[in-house]
Structure 1
């Protein structure tokens, strides 16, 4: 096989693998972006037993302290029917990134979404989203 042909085959294989990853993830490209993210220091995992639990103060303090250096937090909140929905908060470099996963909610949107929230600190960014 000639070098040009090898290169084309390699590009084709890489494209097929990438397309397969996007097709196999429940939320498409947003979920793929989350799954392939750089891991950050953890501010923990919060599991609420009821709707509307929000982000606890200690987790807010952790994210705010890591505003420049980077950290992430996972929050599970059940729906009215008790199905899990997840929100992932990521800070670093002066910004907030929020991923919402509602694929476990058969009565909801059933997809992944992503928000970018500008701000000077966590509270400022949360207010902008």
Structure 2
């Protein structure tokens, strides 16, 4: 693929992800990164490093996202029992409801991304 075509395709991909995020914000009041963090926590109690691993965010970016969803009261932060420096995160009731709403109602997937989501689905 010619280099400029690659950049143009990446621009289209970035625009599609921006559209997906706009839908999340409009319908659920969470950004794409916040939704990914909620999904990576799910029903578990996890450390920030687990969220970093599951989302691919850098530790500093994950920290900002965690502060944001904590401010929105979507997660509860607690100290580790053995190591007080270790922080654990669990979804609050509000966070569980938000994640369930997203799962139940879904998001509008931009056309460019549809093939990524349809692979492996059962009819």
Fold-level similarity (TM above 0.5)? no
Q: What TM-score comes out, normalization by structure 1 length? A: 0.34
Q: Where is the strand percentage greater, Structure 1 or Structure 2?
A: 1
Structure label with greater radius of gyration: 1
The normalised TM-score by structure 2 is: 0.35
Q: Higher helix share goes to which structure?
A: 2
